[in-house]
Structure 1
Amino acid sequence: MTRNPLTARERLLEVIRILEAFSDEDDVLSIHDIHSYFDGDMQVGIGAVRDDVAALEESIVFPVTSVQEKTGMPKHYYYDGRPFEIHELRLLMDAISAAKFISRNETDRLLMKIRKLTSRRLAKQLTNELHVAEPSAQDAVEIVATVQLLHEAIHDKHIVAFQYGRYGTDLNFHLSNEGQDYLVHPLGLVWNNDRYYLVAYFPSADEIRQYRVDRMRSVRVRDEQFIPDHYFDLQEYTRKMFHMFGGELISLEAKFADKLINIVIDRFGLDANIQDNGDGTFLLKAQVAMSEGLVRWILRWGGDVKVIHPQQLVSRMKEEAKKLYDQYQ
């Protein structure tokens, strides 16, 4: 069955599709090359294709670049308007592959879309995927949709209602607060240790809390709006937390073995208050939140860290050290 001839508009759109799909800076196409991608039953003449390409070359809307080796030689063309370089697409693909909250099917679908953002030739360089050493043992529960919902609530300053809970030793999910809703003012989303956290003001307790998004259920955005505290600095707030545990601010002083200097710099940055003791150790001074997260972080480094101040943290570390010692008696 013979198709009806393409209209001028349809033909121009097909030329655009061919240039986008089959050309790039290192894979240029001649007029004959472009014409060869048209099906024979489309009844498209090479002269019409030449006119379309010439129009695109002069256009400021669709960026087409022409290449000509010598005067009198035929021109070659390629699409020059891709928003991403190949290494940038690779970064996007790796970030998606590493995100444990994205299901395998969703990951495959997103990676396929990303490959369409470049030419087919370059897309072949994106076939190898990042392998995650520790895949998630738990299926994501509508996390992608929840994150989008929370972003909208944060932007529009709407109160969010949700249920919250955690898994028990019976491997079942149990709701907290007897299943009653939490009503919060969402302030921001934080990515920490491969998880999303919602930082929000909890009016009932007059305090700022953080909630793991994968533990939130039945998330709804309410019609009521709130007025955020313009003095609240999300980045400064999360900088003082460990493993997203909040708590009372303390002035930490701790002595670390020199071999942990990069660990401390990774956590506190190059502008941290660090003093070299000259004896194989250094002293760190920092404002941090007193929390279980802080205690666990310090315990991770065993005898290579000694807390000096404040006394409440020193006492807490002694308690944990004794519990650990007694565990092996």
Structure 2
Amino acid sequence: MAETKSRILYILKYLWHNTDAEHYATTGDILTYLKENGISCDRKTIPGDIAKLCNIGIDIEEERSRENRYSLSSHLFTLPEVKLLIDAVESSKFITAKKSSELANKLSQMTSVYQSEGLKRNIYISQRVKPMNEQIYYLVDNINTAINQGKQISFLYFHYNQYREEVPNNNGKRYHFSPYYLVWNEDHYYVVGFCEKHQRITTFRVDRMKSINILCSDAVPQPKDFNLPDFTRQVFDMYDGTKEKVTLKITE
């Protein structure tokens, strides 16, 4: 029983990586792959295993001939969808160049090896400005955990000088913050919440945060009348400040 389940999973893995709408695998191809992985079976067993996969919703196309051929007709993502995701990753200023390359390669593996090779040939990581903070993905995870647990966080914050060197804010002291939301705006990630230092709801750019600690202290409750869409519309470039009414004088 265990060997049967293992065999079926290996067949699915092989079809996933080696077939698509234009590329098929013969019964012989599948048997060779199984043998390479220490599984031996009769060729008459393969159609039954394929049928079991089809019965649970796996879209496998069968072409009957002297030697049956099989292909996984549809992957989790279509080729245009994967290309779209890769383009989004490549163009994001939030994702570092190194991580962009890693994610693009992982996304290309969501297709067959034939489609993946075509995608890899077309992958180009642009030279546009990219962040240098490789820890940003773990920062986002920590912030999200704190939000879900309703806890405060503390962190260091910095900006870059003209030489792209980190300059600490707040005299190098830690901020204490109650995070409410993570917001994607203008190709940057921001955290929205209550700042102890400023005693009001404010925002911080996640890629400029360092050394985030989740504290034992419960987060300051979010005001009942706080409306995130209204807040983001009022905050220019996601930096808060005093609201002012202005008059524009236009000369013809």
Q: TM-score range by the shorter chain?
A: 0.7 to 0.9
Partner of 2:230: 236
Residue type at the aligned position of 1:9: K
User: Which residue, out of 208, 229, 239, partners 1:245?
Assistant: 239
Distance 1:85 1:202 in 2: 44
Question: Structure 1 residue 146: deviation in Å?
Answer: 0.6
Distance 1:12 1:171 in 2: 53
Deviates more, 1:32-41 or 1:122-131: 32-41
Distance 2:62 2:247 in 1: 64
Decide which structure has the larger Cα Rg and report it: 1
Distance 1:25 1:225 in 2: 53
User: Which residue, out of 164, 167, 188, partners 2:157?
Assistant: 164
Contact 2:202 2:240 in 1 (8 A): yes
Q: SS state of the match for residue 41, structure 2?
A: coil
Q: CA RMSD in A?
A: 3.0
Partner of 2:7: 11
User: Which residue, out of 66, 73, 81, partners 2:61?
Assistant: 66
Q: Is residue 2:226 matched to residue 1:221?
A: no
Distance 2:31 2:165 in 1: 61
Distance 1:230 1:212 in 2: 24
Q: SS state of the match for residue 7, structure 1?
A: helix
Unmatched tracts of structure 2, length 5 or more:
none
Question: Structure 1 residue 162: deviation in Å?
Answer: 1.0
Deviates more, 1:154-163 or 1:6-15: 6-15
Distance 1:178 1:66 in 2: 64
CA distances 1:260-281 after superposition (whole Å, capped 9, x unpaired): xxxxxxxxxxxxxxxxxxxxxx
Distance 2:244 2:17 in 1: 58
Over 3 Å counting, the alpha-carbon distance change for 1:253 and 1:117 in structure 2 is: farther
Residue type at the aligned position of 1:63: I
CA distances 1:112-132 after superposition (whole Å, capped 9, x unpaired): 221221111221231112442
Distance 2:16 2:177 in 1: 46
Q: Taking structure 2 as the reference length, what is the TM-score of the superposition?
A: 0.81
Residue type at the aligned position of 1:17: K
Distance 1:86 1:50 in 2: 27
Over 3 Å counting, the alpha-carbon distance change for 1:141 and 1:55 in structure 2 is: closer
Count matched residues. 247
Contact 1:163 1:182 in 2 (8 A): yes
Contact 2:26 2:67 in 1 (8 A): yes
User: Which residue, out of 98, 107, 117, partners 1:114?
Assistant: 107
CA distances 1:161-194 after superposition (whole Å, capped 9, x unpaired): 1122323467643323332221111122233343
Partner of 2:42: 45
Distance 2:245 2:149 in 1: 36
The higher-RCO structure (CA 8 Å, 6+ apart) is 2
Over 3 Å counting, the alpha-carbon distance change for 1:44 and 1:253 in structure 2 is: farther
Unmatched tracts of structure 1, length 5 or more:
1-5, 256-305, 308-329
